[in-house]
């Protein structure tokens, strides 16, 4: 692993990552806003990363300085100054107001403010007190008039920039510190991807929405050719762990319903086989074992998940409420004791249940119940991609071993979500996907069809996901009653580019 103070600050691969907007997990730039603006601004050094971080603050966005900077740094628009006096202050940021120091310097140069008075202006803007702002604006305009550097109209416009742009703004030292941290996280992502994803997935538990964080990171890892494998009970790893180059295994404590305390118990239990796990089930919570099976952590036993779940229910019960059929309630205490005493020697759950009948461990009226339990196990259905994906979504927050769309992806003419990222613009394609999220929207009043409902979709298959897939009003109106989160859909679409952002536009959608 690299040492922090030895990281080169001119790594081309790192700046290519910023230019692609692949900044999920990059400090200060991990959200969609940071990804979009990183792709637009394409920072080329630490200073321009600092500018980027400053420009995605609310004030800079609202004042239009972010848009202006993006156009000028990409030579889409010439650099111009409202007045020559501003050039010395703003030339390093393409004539745009990014930092608190710039606002202070402008107030001193054109309004004659002292450094103390200029800093009062900065603090006043942060407080957003309308009375104080009115007083400060008056002093600023009077100072500009007295100095005679700019006209009254120019002074008024400059104050408007400062007032809007400096809300929530950074000082430059703050911005540079953030930029250095952003660069280091981006450097790790592109040069040490296995370590990067392992660390970020592990620390997802400290995020406000851990499951959403894991979903986004795993999908991003797939796009960057890092494979995240399902959990494995025999590894007994609490957190995400590296198991090879570009290979990460899911952390057991990140499975829903399983905490670190249960994994610590598991460390002292023999789980080399499914029989070992069931034989030691009294040392573990039934719900924990169920979560381990349904999440895929027991796939190492090479038994179907349905079979293992049915074995668990036959022995310990699906639940023991009065509404549950007797077949799916737990064995009696006497039957359970016999089960635990003999399962290791007999080595087969159905045979142990048969022995309970043969040895009259159960009373006569329960013999049919035990027989039904045996039939329940023997008739366990084969696992399907659909049921496994439902269970994984419940316990892991996403599908890892499979996707509900897998059963439909052998049809000719369909491509994978991952392939969509590499196809040319305007290419038409067909994909079978799971609709993970639906974001309902309305068109603006200025659009061709004003205030009309449409939606964005987040969709996925087993290769990765696609975000913000667009269903415009006409199509959305036809499918809105059919689509739901979790359904599998056949989508015909094309890839477009708008405002420096890739778009997937849906032409046709059919739930399958």
pLDDT higher than threshold 70 for residue 411: no
Q: What is the pLDDT of residues 313-330, one digit of tens each?
A: 999 998 766 677 878 889
Between CA 395 and CA 290 the distance in angstroms is 10
Structure confidence at residue 165 (pLDDT)? 67
Between CA 227 and CA 463 the distance in angstroms is 10
CB 405 within 8 A of CB 512: no
Q: 101 in helix, strand or coil?
A: helix
CA angle at 295 for the pair 292 and 301, rounded to the nearest 5°? 65
pLDDT, mean of residues 256-270? 91
Contacts of 406 (CB under 8 A, 6+ apart): 385, 389, 461, 462
Between CA 63 and CA 163 the distance in angstroms is 9
Mean pLDDT value across the chain:
93
Best-predicted range by mean pLDDT (4-8, 60-64, 239-243, 363-367): 239-243
Q: What is the pLDDT of residues 86-95, one digit of tens each?
A: 999 999 999 9
- List, in sequence order, every residue forming a beta bridge with 510; answer none if it has no partner: 490
How many of the other CB atoms lie within 10 Å of CB of 450? 10
pLDDT higher than threshold 70 for residue 1: no
Phi, psi of 433 (to 5 degrees): -140, 165
Q: What is the pLDDT of residues 339-371, one digit of tens each?
A: 999 999 999 999 999 999 999 999 999 999 999
**Closest CA relative to residue 256, chosen from 395, 86, 410, 83:** 395
CA dihedral (121, 125, 126, 132) in degrees, to 10, reads 90
> H or E stretch including 59?
helix 58-63
Q: What is the pLDDT of residues 458-468, one digit of tens each?
A: 999 999 999 99
Secondary structure of 425-460 as H, E, C letters: CCCEEEEEEEEEEEEEEECCCCCCCCCCEEEEEEEE
Between CA 339 and CA 316 the distance in angstroms is 11
Kindly report, as residue ranges, where domains of CATH 2.40.50.140 are found in the chain: 406-511
Model confidence, pTM? 0.90
pLDDT higher than threshold 70 for residue 412: no
Between CA 208 and CA 326 the distance in angstroms is 42
Token readout for 143 is 């100072």
pLDDT higher than threshold 80 for residue 338: yes
Structure confidence at residue 351 (pLDDT)? 96
CB 178 within 8 A of CB 53: yes
pLDDT higher than threshold 70 for residue 48: yes
CB 171 within 8 A of CB 99: yes
Output 382 or 170, whichever has higher pLDDT.
Answer: 382
Between CA 389 and CA 402 the distance in angstroms is 6
Phi, psi of 453 (to 5 degrees): -65, 135
Contacts of 246 (CB under 8 A, 6+ apart): 193, 194, 225, 226, 227
Secondary structure of 292-343 as H, E, C letters: HHHHCCCHHHCCCHHHHHHHHHHHHCCCCCCCCCHHHCCCCHHHHHHHHHHH
* 406-511: CATH, from 3.40.30.10, 3.60.15.10, 3.30.565.10, 2.40.50.140: 2.40.50.140
> H or E stretch including 247?
strand 247-249
Structure confidence at residue 410 (pLDDT)? 66
How many of the other CB atoms lie within 10 Å of CB of 223? 16
How many of the other CB atoms lie within 10 Å of CB of 136? 22
Structure confidence at residue 323 (pLDDT)? 72
Burial label, 208 (beta-carbon count in 10 A; 0-12, 13-18, 19+): exposed
pLDDT, mean of residues 254-278? 93
The residue count for the chain: 512
- According to DSSP, the β-strands at 247-249 and 241-244 are antiparallel
- According to DSSP, the β-strands at 428-442 and 453-460 are antiparallel
What percentage of the chain reaches a pLDDT higher than 70?
97
CA atoms lying within 13 Å on the CB side of residue 92:
15
């Amino acid at each position: 692993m690299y040492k922090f103070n030895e990281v080169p600050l001119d790594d081309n691969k790192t700046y290519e990552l910023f230019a692609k907007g692949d900044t999920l997990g990059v400090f200060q730039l991990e959200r969609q806003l940071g990804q979009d603006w990183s792709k637009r601004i394409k920072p080329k050094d630490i200073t321009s990363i600092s500018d980027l971080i400053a420009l995605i603050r609310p004030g800079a966005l609202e004042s239009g300085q972010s848009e202006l900077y993006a156009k000028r740094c990409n030579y889409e628009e010439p650099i111009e100054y409202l007045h020559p006096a501003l050039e010395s202050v703003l030339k390093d940021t393409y004539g745009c107001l990014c930092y608190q120091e710039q606002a202070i310097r402008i107030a001193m140069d054109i309004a004659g403010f002292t450094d103390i008075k200029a800093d009062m202006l900065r603090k006043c803007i942060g407080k957003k007190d309308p009375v104080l702002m009115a007083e400060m604006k008056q002093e600023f305009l009077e100072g500009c008039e007295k100095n005679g550097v700019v006209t009254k109209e120019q002074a008024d416009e400059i104050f408007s920039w400062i007032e809007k742009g400096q809300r929530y703004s950074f000082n430059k030292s703050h911005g540079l510190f953030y930029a250095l941290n952003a660069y280091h996280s981006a450097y790790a992502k592109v040069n040490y991807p296995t370590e990067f994803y392992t660390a970020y997935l592990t620390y997802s538990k400290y995020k406000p929405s851990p499951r959403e964080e894991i979903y986004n990171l795993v999908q991003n890892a797939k796009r960057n050719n890092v494979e995240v494998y399902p959990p494995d009970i025999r590894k007994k790893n609490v957190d995400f762990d590296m198991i090879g180059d570009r290979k990460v295994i899911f952390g057991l404590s990140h499975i829903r319903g399983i905490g670190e305390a249960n994994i610590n118990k598991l460390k002292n239990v023999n789980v080399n086989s499914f029989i070992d796990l069931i034989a030691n089930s009294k040392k573990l919570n039934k719900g924990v074992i169920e979560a381990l099976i349904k999440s895929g952590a027991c796939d190492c036993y090479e038994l179907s998940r349905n079979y293992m779940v049915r074995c668990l229910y036959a022995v310990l019960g699906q639940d023991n409420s009065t509404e549950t059929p007797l077949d799916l309630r737990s064995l009696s205490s006497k039957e359970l004791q016999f089960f635990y005493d003999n399962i290791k020697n007999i080595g087969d759950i159905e045979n142990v249940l048969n022995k309970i009948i043969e040895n009259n461990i159960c009373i006569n009226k329960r013999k049919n119940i035990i027989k039904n339990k045996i039939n329940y196990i023997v008739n366990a259905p084969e696992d399907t991609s659909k049921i496994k994906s439902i269970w994984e979504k419940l316990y892991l927050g996403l599908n890892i071993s499979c996707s509900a769309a897998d059963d439909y992806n052998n049809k000719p003419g369909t491509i994978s979500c991952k392939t969509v990222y590499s196809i040319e613009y305007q290419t038409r394609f067909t994909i079978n996907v799971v609709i993970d999220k639906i974001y309902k929207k309305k068109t603006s009043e200025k659009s061709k069809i004003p205030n009309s409902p449409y939606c964005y979709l987040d969709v996925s298959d087993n290769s990765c996901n696609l975000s913000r897939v667009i269903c415009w009003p006409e199509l959305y109106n036809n499918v809105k009653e059919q689509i739901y989160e979790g359904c599998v859909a056949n989508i015909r679409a094309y890839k477009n580019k708008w405002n420096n952002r890739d778009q997937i536009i849906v032409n046709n959608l059919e739930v399958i």
